[in-house]
Amino acid sequence: MRIVLKFQTTLLLFRLRPSRHRFPIIVSLDCNHGETEKVVRSFGDAIKFIKQPNQTEPVLPRQQKKFAGYYKIARHYRWALSEVFYRFGYNATVITEDDLEVAKDFFSYFSTTYPLLKKDESLFCISAWNDNGKPGLIENDPTLLHRTDFFPGLGWMLTKDLWNELEPKWPQSFWDDWIRASEQRKNRACIRPEISRTAMALEGKIGVSKGQYYEKHLKHIKLNKDEDIVDFEKLDLSYLLKDTYDQHFVQTVYSSPELTLDEFAKLEREKVVSMSSIRFTYTNAKTFKRLATKFQLMDDFRVS
């Protein structure tokens, strides 16, 4: 089951969900916008509707007032997730926001990876998003999934057990930065796809972040195509379990030739880049940003 923080994404999910009983939809509204509420209620009992009761402005020091939106979002998340897990009694939820598009195999992806999340205690969440999922940076394999130490967000699943752990210390603002900190992640990984099952819609430019990263990165993330729908239930995903995945990952990384950026640039000029994989090593934020700039990766250096 899942939460939608406004409504546009709900319409997509409403059309795509294979079963209303297996995949109930909860719309959680954090405003007093009458027209939005009217549309939500028009669906009757086909969806559940909840409304965040605290619509007050956060009391903040003057220098923090520009971040009021982030405080409201964190407050809403805490309230809505508590409703999902403690009032409705669900064991897991997939969170989406209202500025996302979703792929047609969105539900297949989450329903099939959910058992992994329950089985493998080294997993933190399941995400539908690849932060570096631009065409040209990814393999054209819609079945391929990975483990990542970085919390991707933007369409992600967590369990009630994780919420029991996070809720007592939930932050007042910037929850997504907070959740990436080692104190929360505790060396656990998230599963994410090679090709994203969510994409940022144009509305992503007008959120509280003022469209940060939208033009340079977010709008370019590839959404899995309709003709490439995957029935994940037919796949063996045991390769994503920690011991199996780590062994293959380490073998792949350290069997790949290591190059510097200068060496790679020389091969590019000579048009002799033929390796299927190359290893680059960074030692600090500066060298990481050089690599990120070269390969058009997200260069936002955050805790993980």
pTM exceeds cut of 0.95: no
209 has pLDDT over 70: no
Q: Kindly report, residue by residue over 17-64, the tens digit of the pLDDT.
A: 999 999 999 999 999 888 889 988 999 999 999 999 999 999 999 999
pLDDT of residue 201: 84
pLDDT of residue 206: 61
In the residue annotation, 176 being an active-site residue is answered as yes
pLDDT of residue 4: 41
Please name each of the domains of the chain with its CATH number.
2-242 (3.90.550.10), 256-304 (no CATH)
Instruction: Give the span between the Cα atoms of 254 and 280, in whole angstroms.
Output: 11
5 has pLDDT over 50: no
6 has pLDDT over 60: no
pLDDT band at 181 (very low <50, low <70, confident <90, very high): very high
2 has pLDDT over 80: no
Q: Kindly report, residue by residue over 236-271, the tens digit of the pLDDT.
A: 999 999 999 999 999 999 999 999 999 999 998 888
Mean pLDDT of the chain: 92
pLDDT band at 210 (very low <50, low <70, confident <90, very high): low
Mean pLDDT value of segment 155-178? 98
Share of the chain above pLDDT 90, in %: 79
pLDDT of residue 101: 93
Q: Do residues 49 and 27 lie in contact, with contact meaning Cβ atoms separated by under 8 Å? A: yes
pLDDT of residue 302: 64
pLDDT of residue 208: 61
Set 176, 246, 262, 300: catalytic member:
176
